[in-house]
Amino acid sequence: MKPSLINATIPLDQDGVHHGFLQLPHSRDESAWGLMMIPLTVIQNGEGKTALLTGANHGDEYEGPIALQELALTTRVEDVSGRLIIVPAFNYPAFRAAKRTSPIDGGNLNRAFPGSPDGTITQKIADYFQRHLLPLADVAVDFHSGGKSLEFLPFAAAHILDDKALEQQCFAAMEAFNAPHSVQLREIDNAGMYDTAVEEMGKVLVTTELGGGGTSTARSNAIAKRGLHNVLIHFGLLQGKMERQPSTLLTMPDDGSYHFSTGEGLIEPMVDLGEAVATGDVIARIWPVDRTGVTPAECKAKSDGLVIGRHFPGLIGMGDCIAVVGVPSD
């Protein structure tokens, strides 16, 4: 395969705190011979594990970039045993545009793996992580939230995997993150995901859904920072004591967790995030937008559980995700 056109402006394997960029050629109208410069910090201190820490895989999700900016700024080399590779804005063009996907090529980075060295910008970023950064890592923490179209109960997540030994390591790291809820996640669409690339390489992945709506809150950012710190302590990368709080473990035993809209309209939530539902309960009603005198469609819970995710905007389209229900695990 061709070499990547992406280069790091700082060493990836030298002790110290190094702030720089991943740079790649990006010829465009405003800058014919220009580069794209993706912020990068590497903090290394001797031998130990490597954590690859990413935010804004989707560009409109903000807790990750905030927690990672703070980590990059405040971590001293003597605090670390091993190496932290910090990329606060993984899909950087999407982050700068406050969009889920890249404004350059429409790329959804979390569906672009393993990428390509001579593909679009999004495919080039994926390829660089696939072939150059992931092989260095023992653990990857990839921060997500709901973005502009979804909102989640703040939770950390790890995937239900066929490789049960790896699954246990991922679940342990998720529990170390210690968000108010922890979810054993079943993906509906894992082809091309960064998560899948990490797991197929046999590395530990912890991810999150910390909020959404295209913003962050003091609470969701505090959860992100505390969880990140806890995971780094769990892997021996940082010293200190984990801050533990009660966390509710949820699972998604089947695809019945996801509820989709069968029409378009004005969405009326009947249950809020974090509330319990029983099978058959109405989670939301969808009113017509173009007439009166018509009964709204009802979205009914397909299983007992807690509402852990919801459609965020006030209007909803055909096929949009209305709600996600997680089932408390014992």
The amino acid at 219 = R
Tell the smallest beta-carbon distance from residue 20 to Ca ion (Å): 26
**What track of x and - describes contact with Ca ion for positions 144 through 163 (by CB under 5 A)?**
x-------------------
CB nearer to Ca ion: give 144 or 181.
144
- Chain centroid to Cα 217, Å, comes to 16
**Binding region for Ca ion (CB under 5 A) out of 17-25, 136-144, 270-278, 281-289:** 136-144
How many CB atoms sit inside 10 A of residue 1's CB? 9
**Binding region for Ca ion (CB under 5 A) out of 12-20, 58-66, 68-76, 191-199:** 58-66
The strand pair at 181-185 and 155-159 is best described as: parallel
Q: Report the distance separating Cα 237 and Cα 214, nearest Å.
A: 31
Residue whose C-alpha is closest to residue 263's, from 300, 323, 322, 317: 317
Tell the smallest beta-carbon distance from residue 108 to Ca ion (Å): 9
Query: Which single residue is written with the structure tokens 């593909």?
Result: 119
58 interacts with Ca ion by CB under 5 A: yes
Q: Which residues, 222 to 251, sit near Ca ion by CB under 5 A?
A: none
* Greatest Cα-to-Cα distance within the chain, rounded to the nearest angstrom: 70
CB nearer to Ca ion: give 50 or 145.
145
Q: Report the distance separating Cα 175 and Cα 183, nearest Å.
A: 9
Count of chain residues binding Ca ion (CB under 5 A)? 2
Both tokens of 17, joined, read 């705190």
Tell the smallest beta-carbon distance from residue 89 to Ca ion (Å): 13
**Binding region for Ca ion (CB under 5 A) out of 17-25, 143-151, 241-249, 251-259:** 143-151
Residue whose C-alpha is closest to residue 173's, from 137, 218, 145, 213: 137
Instruction: Find out whether 114 and 130 touch, Cβ atoms under 8 Å.
Output: yes
CB nearer to Ca ion: give 138 or 199.
199
CB nearer to Ca ion: give 82 or 147.
147
Tell the smallest beta-carbon distance from residue 100 to Ca ion (Å): 7
- Using the Cα atoms of residue 172, residue 173, residue 174 and residue 177 in order, give the sign of their dihedral: positive
Residue least distant from Ca ion (Cβ)? 144
Both tokens of 242, joined, read 């984990």
181 interacts with Ca ion by CB under 5 A: no
Q: Write the DSSP symbol of residue 212.
A: B
**Binding region for Ca ion (CB under 5 A) out of 65-73, 139-147, 257-265, 307-315:** 139-147
**Binding region for Ca ion (CB under 5 A) out of 6-14, 54-62, 134-142, 152-160:** 54-62
CB nearer to Ca ion: give 58 or 234.
58
Q: Report the distance separating Cα 36 and Cα 107, nearest Å.
A: 16
Q: Which residues, 186 to 205, sit near Ca ion by CB under 5 A?
A: none
Tell the smallest beta-carbon distance from residue 58 to Ca ion (Å): 4
Cis peptide before 114 (omega within 30 of 0): yes
- Using the Cα atoms of residue 324, residue 327, residue 328 and residue 330 in order, give the sign of their dihedral: negative
CB nearer to Ca ion: give 144 or 302.
144
**Binding region for Ca ion (CB under 5 A) out of 31-39, 56-64, 119-127, 322-330:** 56-64
Q: Contact residues for Ca ion (CB under 5 A)?
A: 58, 144
